[in-house]
Amino acid sequence: MTPAPPTATLDGLAFIKGHGTLNDFVVLPDDHAEVDLDEDLVRAVCDRRAGLGADGVLRIATAGALVDQGVLAVLPEGVDAADWFMDYRNADGSIAEMCGNGVRVFAHALVATGRVGAGRIPVGTRSGPRPADILIHDGDQAVVRVDMGEPRLLGVSSVELGGRVYAGLAVDMGNPHLACVVPGLGADGLRELPVHEAPEFDTGFFPAGVNVEIATPLTDGRVSMRVHERGSGETMSCGTGIVATAVAALADAGQATGDVVVSVPGGEVAVALTGVGSTLTGPSVIVAEGRYRRPLPARRTEASRPEL
Ligand SMILES: N[C@@H](CCC[C@H](N)C(=O)O)C(=O)O
């Protein structure tokens, strides 16, 4: 008897690799949401030795296809079925509601692959629409501004990291953040902190986990920040965390609105807080495209299900 063929296509999965200030992603174009993007597959793709390596996966699909395939229960408010939807997964396979750097790379990939033209791109996310404007597009490099919506202040909480307690402002950017601005901390001191270690947070306050930012106070419109992301560990940048940090740094300085440049290990990103919304402007770089060849479980359809 001939053994059953693997459920993968031998050609594997088409992918694009990109990053936004070194927060790196594998982008999977899957317009009709046919790939069974389970936790094992995401972890394997993101594995930095046995896989392609990334902080997260961005599946490109239409919002309608994700609903039809049962990946989304309903269309998030403000997202249309025909919109391109950023189906974001952390490196550990968990799903997150939003990813700010991801939206920049996602929008860049939509343009680079010809799915959309220039102009305002309505990107759907689990937190609702996050429109992106490509300000500069030069092949594999782009500068993208993302409308990040209104940050919601949730109160104050604290984390323990490396034996020290840090107080912070809890900010909902569609996903949860605790942005800790540390009095007297400078960029050199920030570099020494053990942000790679998992912070201990208040699970009552953050029942679904939290992304933790440690930042210097605002000086001349700038802050430095490091982040420990839920589901990915320490990353070189986090767009939603950058906006949350700008909110906390401005609040610490007695302001609710303003422009802040946030310096992260992976580069610099600009935030504008208007009081009713926020934008994030920064780079996107596409570094590779190819095919991921590890055998993949195909989504079973009635047509492909073997007869018993
Ligand atoms: N790096 C992202 C955030 C990704 C999701 C986050 N780890 C979470 O679980 O909420 C960004 O750029 O915003």
What's the pLDDT at 207?
A: 98
Residues 6+ apart with CB under 8 A from 240: 98, 99, 100, 148, 173, 174, 175, 177, 211
What's the pLDDT at 118?
A: 78
SS3 content of the chain, % helix, strand, coil (to 5): 15, 40, 45
What's the pLDDT at 230?
A: 98
Q: Give 154-173 as a DSSP string.
A: EEEEEEEETTEEEEEEEEES
State if pTM tops 0.80. yes
- Segment 156-161 shows an average pLDDT of 98
The answer to whether the complex's ipTM is over 0.90 is: yes
Q: If pLDDT is split at 50, 70 and 90, which confidence band does 295 have?
A: low
The yes-or-no verdict on residue 100 having pLDDT over 60 is: yes
Specify whether 46 is catalytic.
no
Tokens of 280: 């994030």
Angle, helices 100-112 vs 239-252, to 10°: value is 140
Within 6 Å (CB) of ligand 1, which residues are found? Answer: 23, 56, 90, 96, 99-102, 175, 211, 229-232, 235, 238-240
Among 141, 143, 177, smallest CA distance to 159 is for 177
Q: Which of 33, 91, 99, 250 is catalytic?
A: 99
101 is in an annotated binding site: yes
Q: Which of 66, 238, 246, 260 is catalytic?
A: 238
- Ligand 1 centre to CA of 164 (Å) is 24
The yes-or-no verdict on residue 9 having pLDDT over 60 is: no
Which atom in ligand 1 lies closest to the alpha carbon of residue 23?
1
Specify whether 99 is catalytic.
yes
Q: Tell the residue nearest (CA) to atom 4 of ligand 1.
A: 99
DSSP code for 131: -
pLDDT digits (tens, 9 = 90+) for 164-221: 999 999 999 999 999 999 999 999 999 999 999 999 999 999 999 999 999 999 999 9
